[in-house]
Structure 1
Amino acid sequence: MILIGQYDSPFVRRVAIAMRLYGFAFEHRPWSTFGDADKIAPFNPLRRVPTLVLKDGEALIESTIILDHLDELAGPDKAMIASSGSDRRHALKICALATGLADKGVSLLYERVLRKDHQSKIWVERCEAQIGGVLDVLEKERAGIASPFWSGVKISHADIAVACALRFTSEAHPRLFDPARHPALADHAARCEALEVFKEIVQPLIPPAG
């Protein structure tokens, strides 16, 4: 399999970490959605990442869909999410909040870099409010869990998604993620980032000037 996208993307990173934890071999093509858009287009007309190209040439897009396929390949006993019921719904909710957090962070970064002196004040304030709101909800949720990870002693997609989103947010918008205000999330991120797979699959974000 071929995974397309750079690891500074929280979406690409969460997929790559899951693939490593599952033991799936893959070739990594660290293509940029801007600089390498023409390379990505034949596999994904949206020119977005992550894109996962399967052995038969089929291309899967969007991290949630890719992970759903990987869970199927891993099987229910190894999948890093419950197969059904309230546990699955809850895990998917946490993943949705985390990916939404990352998406708003990306939108805010693009607004700052691409629009520079013509940023929309309303849009910036909306994105910042959404980021703050999600962080507060995730902090309350994580603070109420005593186990090492979201669903117990084993890492799950929810753990990975939150940790990847937090790293991106802290690098892209450091003033929006305050560990003192969100200590449970800061502890969660540190626990995940200390794992070897997180150390291996990482690309520090260098926000463009703007």
Structure 2
Amino acid sequence: MAREEETKVKLLGLWVSPFVRRVEWALKLKGVSYDYIEEDILNKSPLLLELNPVHKTVPVMVHDGKVICESFVLLEYIDETWKHHPLLPHDPYDRAIARFWACFVEEKILENAWIAMCSEGEEKEKATKIAIDAVERIEELLKGKQFFGGDDIGYLDLAVGWVSHWLPVWDEVGSTKILDPLRFPSTTSWATNFLGHPLIRDNLPPKDKMLDYFHQKKGRIMASRARV
């Protein structure tokens, strides 16, 4: 791995974004140096709008002058560009299964946990149930495993790593209990293992700061809904 290549990486992100963090984790696991540029999503910079005119959001990575967006796309790009410490399994079927579960967690747990945090009544109950049912699926996958792929952190661990740190915060802000340690011991054990890895542990946003951020975010969303 050439030092010259490493220094050509720039990452535009937001400190509290789980999508950005999964990309940072991948870069750090690969040992890739990068320049980080913090973005204000409420006041997007001209650079962000220039680099990502389609979605106008983070993460955005620039490598050797080439722009790549979307966190799952970035995970695979990083894995294919820096081939040491492979993240995705070698077998094509296992790779497909890892991608499937990454999308499943994004669609069923992340989206519904967010809705549950920022809603009330029937909408909150429905979203909470969908998220809990999805965690049950993940619980089955993790039984007897330290990480999704076995003994080492891989693609799927990075893709769903937000569950270990963000979901408990969202549960607290939304007064929900999606990630119940008693109901999901394997998932809880995985979260402990994941957060205990030095490169993960040292690259997490502070919980107290996250709580303040998401309480404010929820307040703005609820207030906006009340005006409709």
TM score, norm. by length of structure 2 = 0.77
Structure number with greater CO (CA < 8 Å, separation at least 6) is 1
1:11 aligns with 2:19: yes
1:50, 1:63 within 8 Å by CA — same for their partners in 2?
yes
Partner of residue 110 from structure 2, selected from 98, 102, 109: 102
Mapped partners of 2:34, 2:127: distance in 1: 34
1:192 aligns with 2:214: no
Q: Which amino acid aligns with 2:61?
A: L
Mapped partners of 2:19, 2:102: distance in 1: 11
| Cα pair distance change 1:51/1:196, threshold 3 Å | same
1:80 aligns with 2:87: yes
Distance apart, 1:105 and its partner CA: 3.3
2:29, 2:199 within 8 Å by CA — same for their partners in 1?
yes
Name stretches of at least 5 consecutive residues in structure 1 with no aligned partner.
113-118
Distance apart, 1:140 and its partner CA: 1.7
Distance apart, 1:164 and its partner CA: 1.8
Q: How does 1:1-210 map to 2 (within 5 A)?
A: 1-36=9-44, 39-45=47-53, 46-56=55-65, 58-75=66-83, 78-100=85-107, 101-109=109-117, 112=118, 121=121, 123-143=123-143, 146-174=144-172, 175=176, 176-204=178-206, 205-206=210-211, 207-209=214-216, 210=219
Q: What is the match of residue 116 of structure 1?
A: none
Distance apart, 1:124 and its partner CA: 3.5
Structure showing greater Rg: 2
Distance apart, 1:162 and its partner CA: 2.4
| Cα pair distance change 1:177/1:80, threshold 3 Å | same
Deviations 1:141-165 (A, max 9, x none): 212xx23221222211112222323
| Cα pair distance change 1:81/1:165, threshold 3 Å | same
Distance apart, 1:179 and its partner CA: 1.2
Distance apart, 1:184 and its partner CA: 0.8
Name stretches of at least 5 consecutive residues in structure 2 with no aligned partner.
1-8, 220-228
Mapped partners of 2:50, 2:162: distance in 1: 27
Q: State the identity as a percent.
A: 20
| Cα pair distance change 1:120/1:52, threshold 3 Å | same
1:81, 1:156 within 8 Å by CA — same for their partners in 2?
yes
- Could you say what secondary structure the match of 2:190 adopts? helix
Mapped partners of 1:44, 1:54: distance in 2: 14
Q: Which amino acid aligns with 2:128?
A: E
What is the aligned residue count? Answer: 198
- Could you say what secondary structure the match of 2:138 adopts? helix
Mapped partners of 1:3, 1:93: distance in 2: 26
CA RMSD of aligned residues (A): 2.2
1:5, 1:33 within 8 Å by CA — same for their partners in 2?
no
Distance apart, 1:47 and its partner CA: 2.1
Mapped partners of 1:165, 1:34: distance in 2: 25
Q: Which amino acid aligns with 2:32?
A: F
Mapped partners of 1:44, 1:98: distance in 2: 25
Q: Which amino acid aligns with 1:33?
A: I
TM score, norm. by length of structure 1 = 0.83
Distance apart, 1:84 and its partner CA: 3.8
